[in-house]
Amino acid sequence: MKAAPAPLGPPRFGSAARFSERAISIVNDALLSTAMRNERGAAQARLVICSLFALRQLGLYPADILSAQPKDTSIFVSLVFAVALSAVALVRRHRSLARWQLTFAVVDVLLFVAATVPVILSPAPGYTGVLHTPFVAAGALISMAAGLRLSRGHAVGTAVAMLLVFSGVCVLDRWMWGSRILWGAGEVLFYAIVLGGASLVSFVVATRTLDLATRSAAKAIEAERARERLGAYVGRDVAEQALAVDEIVMGGSRQMVAVLFSDLRGFTTYSEKMPPEETVRQLNSYLEAMVAVITERGGVVDKYIGDGIMAVFGAPHGRPDDAHRAILAAGDMQVALEGHNAQRLERGFTPLKMGVGVHYGLAVAGNVGTLDHAQYTIIGDVVNLASRLESATKELEWPVLLSRDVVDAARVHPQAALALRSLGSISVRGREQQVEVFTLSGAASAPEK
């Protein structure tokens, strides 16, 4: 059995691979963005809370702090350090979120140590145990806030660290002040349950937020897939415009556009001898080469007409040099066809011949049809004349025909250095007046033999 010929043009990859890579990127970006916002929110809360406690310390114990009394001074310094670090996190752009998260996870645990241990080492008169001080409640806040980092590892790690530190604080308190301690096993169990509950909430927050971010990313992937699919059918620019409005509006707007028509010579007769699948394969390979050129020059493929192409320069978004772009695209298409034909000859296929007509003028660009089945297209005499010029390439045997209007519009712009040849005026089917036409100079635009 004879092996099937290798495909023309570069290999194409299915959308599954593209969307798989894009999905990973979207999910990671969504999670990173959410975690970054959460970390900034935690830094803001830490800055406010620690600032208030630092002011409290400074207001209640100014003499002790100024005299460097160990207990109040160490608490005050710890609070100021946390405020400063939180402020840095808010004003500095994070290059490594994971590093900041680990840093603040450690800082939060150390804040609990700094808030409780000095109280134990230098107790106030009437001291009855660390569990009777307000500082121990900070442990639950620290455990719960760990879930905002969107990491189950951080949630579990912070929970374990806080339980170990809490246990160590209780042991130190009982060891140093056993006779003065009034809290018992019931209170220890209560605080342990509170810490455990806060840790559970932290874990649930991390898990649910991760799930929400993943679902949001999935929605974004679906939207991107729809955008790309729609763009493949109607063009990316048209797809972007359609998705940007809330409802379809029938009709359009008047604007100056350059319209390009191209058509293959004798392809219908040539394809009669081939299976339909092979005809489609060869046609798609040719269209891929041509559309790449049109898109590169800023054009939008309006529609395929059999083996023909209608492309527009100037809609839905216009540029000052649309006429120039259209003429350059016509020349590039001839060059691309030469390269495509070289590939065809290597595979034993007949070279293709193509005619291109370009005109510039006023048109209405917008939606036609019905609300149930609308199509974005260009309507006007500019379309008809461009099509007639493409048809005239068969009679004149020049592969590219340009109207005087498109040449004049292109020459308005200083960057337009076009090598053109005048072919005089010709009669065009359906028009009473003759049309002055030009062609591109060079090998790519030589008369057909």
Q: 258 and 208, same structural domain?
A: no
64-73, 84-93, 233-242, 429-438: segment of lowest average pLDDT: 233-242
Predicted TM-score (pTM) of the model is 0.54
| Structural domains counted in the chain | 2
Same domain (yes/no): 280, 173: no
Q: From CA 387, how far away is CA 423, in angstroms rounded? A: 18
Evaluate whether residue 364 is within a structural domain: yes
- Considering the domain architecture, whether residues 32 and 77 belong to the same structural domain is answered as yes
Is the pLDDT score of 221 beyond 80?
no
Do 146 and 277 share a domain, yes or no? no
Q: What pLDDT was estimated at residue 139?
A: 85
Q: Does residue 266 lie within any of the structural domains?
A: yes
Q: Does the pLDDT of residue 281 top 80, yes or no?
A: yes
Helix ranges (DSSP H) in 122-151: 138-145
Is the pLDDT at 309 greater than 80? The verdict is yes
Looking at the structure, tell me whether residues 93 and 153 fall in a common domain: yes
- The predicted structure's pLDDT at residue 329: 92
Positive/negative CA dihedral, 174, 176, 177, 178: positive
CA–CA dist 234, 345 (Å, integer): 32
Whether 203 is in a domain gets the answer: yes
pLDDT tens profile 233-273:
545 555 455 554 445 555 567 888 899 999 988 887 777 77
- What does 112-124 look like in DSSP terms, one character per residue? HHHHHHHHHHSPP
Residue 311 and residue 298 in contact, taking contact as beta carbons nearer than 8 Å? no
Give the chain's radius of gyration (CA, Å): 37
Do 307 and 174 fall into the same domain?
no
Does residue 280 fall inside a structural domain?
A: yes
Indicate which CATH number applies to the domain containing 343.
3.30.70.1230
Residue 35 counted as domain residue: yes
In a domain, 80, yes or no: yes
- Let me know if residue 197 belongs to a domain: yes
Examine the domain organization and report whether 25 and 137 are in the same domain.
Answer: yes
Residues 184 and 109 in one domain: yes
* Tokens, residue 159: 């929970």
* 274 and 367 share one domain: yes
**Who's near 203: CB < 8 A, 6+ residues apart?**
147, 152, 155, 156, 159
Report d(CA 319, CA 322) in Å as an integer. Answer: 5
* Position 95 pLDDT exceeds 50: yes
Nearest-5° Cα angle at 117, 173 to 104: 135
- The yes-or-no verdict on residue 3 having pLDDT over 50 is no
Domain co-membership, 210 together with 252: no
* CA proximity to 446, closest of 380, 371, 370, 353: 353
Both tokens assigned to 105:
């996870």
Task: Give the helix/strand (H/E) hosting 423.
Answer: strand 420-426
Do 268 and 166 belong together in one domain? no
Q: What is the mean pLDDT of the chain?
A: 80
- Domain boundary at 165, 193, 226, which? 226
**Is the domain of 160 the same as that of 259?**
no
Q: Does residue 426 sit within a domain?
A: yes
Of 226, 259, 291, the one marking the end of a domain is 226
Q: Which domain holds residue 133?
A: 15-226
